[in-house]
Each structure stands twice: as C-alpha cells, then as structure tokens.
Structure 1
Amino acid sequence: MQELLQNQELLWVLTVVYDLGLAIILYRFFGKYGLYAAVILGIVLGNLQGGKVSQLEFFGYSFTASMGAILYSGIYFATDVLNEKFGREEANRAVMLGFVANIAVMITLLISVQFKPSQITGSALEVHNAISTLASYSPVFVIGSLIAYLVSQTFDVWIFHKIKV
C-alpha cells in the first residue's frame, strides 16, 4: 500500500475521487446541507493546504500543483448540483458560506497563535508552531485566494444557470 501511495499522480487522482465522493456522500445523506458542508470543507481545507505544492507528471508533462487546488473539484461539483437541484440562490448561498467560514477559520487561527503554548505537554510547542505556520500565510495570498474563490465560484454559478436555462 505504501508503494502505491508513493505514486504522486495516482495519489492525486485518488484525492480527486475522494473529494468528489465525499461531496456525493454528503449530498446523499444530508441533501443541500451536505453540499453546503462540501463547499465549506473544500474552501477551508483548500486554503489550509494551499501552500503545500508537489511536482506531478501527467502524460509526459511535468507541473507543480498546489494541493489546495485539488479540492476545488468538489466545490465546483457541489455548487453545480445545488444550482441544478435547488436553484441559483442556493448555489450562491453555498459560495458565501464557504467564504465566511474561511475568514472565520483564518481569524480563529490568528487569534489562537497569540496564546503562549503550555510548558506541561511536550507537543504543545510543536502544535503551536504548526498552527503559526498555517496562520502566517502572506495576507496577500489569503486575500488573493478568497477573491479568486468568489470570482470563480460566482461565475461558475452564473454560467451554469445560463446554460441550464
């Protein structure tokens, strides 16, 4: 199994399948609320792992990919299903929920790193440093990511609605 996961391209494909599968499962069990959750999870986790980049090779072409970008497939899928089944307003609501949730997570991380780590547990400093790293992305990166998310998702919802009508 470990050797299988060393294949970066296969791991990328499995991650996309996992992401889309999670959106489908959430929709199956929770309806539109599950799709809201898929959008929120996708944007929050996508931004948390956005700084993690890997080198991939597909069909002889090598490229660097952000691991956060993988999760956008589930976001687009969820908003398109919301648009198809529940209408444009519900799809736009999911986009805004994802936007607000992402801002809340970033603010919460920034606040949490202001607390000094405990000296009682050995891992407290390591966890503090890891959260500090996640929270310390350049503000330009975070703002740019959120603007790109809003623009791309709003356009996706709009164009899907136009094609549908």
Structure 2
Amino acid sequence: MKKIVLLLGLLFLSVNAAAIAGTIDTEQFGHHYFNVWKATQSPQATKSDIQRYLSLLKDDVGHQHLPYDPDATREADGKQRMLEGMLYYLGTHTEYTATLATVVVGYQVVVIKYNTQLAGKHPQTGELMRLSYDTVEVLEIEDGKVAVIRKYSE
C-alpha cells in the first residue's frame, strides 16, 4: 500500500512539474515577441527574420488590424497568409525604429504597447511614407504560441 501511495505521489509530482514546465513566462514572451517583430520591419530584414517571427504563431493564427482589418477569424492557412503579406512588404522601410512602452500580462494574454517611427516606399503605390504612431497589440496565447493578434494602430 505504501508503494502505491508513493508511486501515486511521484506520478502527481512529475505531472505537475511537466505542467509547470509547459507554461511560458508571458511577460518575457511579450518582450521577445516585440523584438522579433521589430526585426521583421528593419530595412535589413530578411526572410529568416520573418520565419523567426512566424515561429511564435500558431498555424491557424487569426490577425485583426483595426481600423483596417476588423476580422480575426482563425483559418487553417493563417500563418501562410501572414507570410505572403509580410514578404510583399519586406524591404519597403528605409528607416524603422520602435520603442516598447509596456507589457501587460493576463491569463493566456499579453498586451504590448509600442511607438513606431518609419520611412519607406509603399510597394504598390510607390508613395513615400513617413509615419509615427502608437500601437497596442493584444496577443491571445494558446499552447505557448500566439493564436490571435489584435492590433490597434492608425
């Protein structure tokens, strides 16, 4: 009987330790996410930077960018669609800086706020851009990866 109790106790401890090991430090994740995102916007950004960013996302990631794109529906090809969009804009910035203002965490969510200043040329219109704006991103986390991105900026 003692062996069964001991075995059950060890089993409980190992399952509990595995569950703890499977969780992520959401505040640290928020800082990492921001730095990886920022690298994708740099004038020297590469496809590898984009792949590094996409590795933080679920395959069926939903992406909402208000006020431009109000739909955050998760689709099976969400990550692939983000890749295509990011490759389209890759290299359009001639200047890019972003400063992280805050990281706020909650249950399975990370909220980051940052300021962006950029210059570049729009790939479709050829229009020269010089912008400065604040962004708030709400990252919904699932299984240690971003499942939904809700981005608020102008």
Structure-1-length-normalised TM-score: 0.27
Larger radius of gyration: 2
Q: Which has the higher strand share?
A: 2
Where is the helix percentage greater, Structure 1 or Structure 2?
Answer: 1
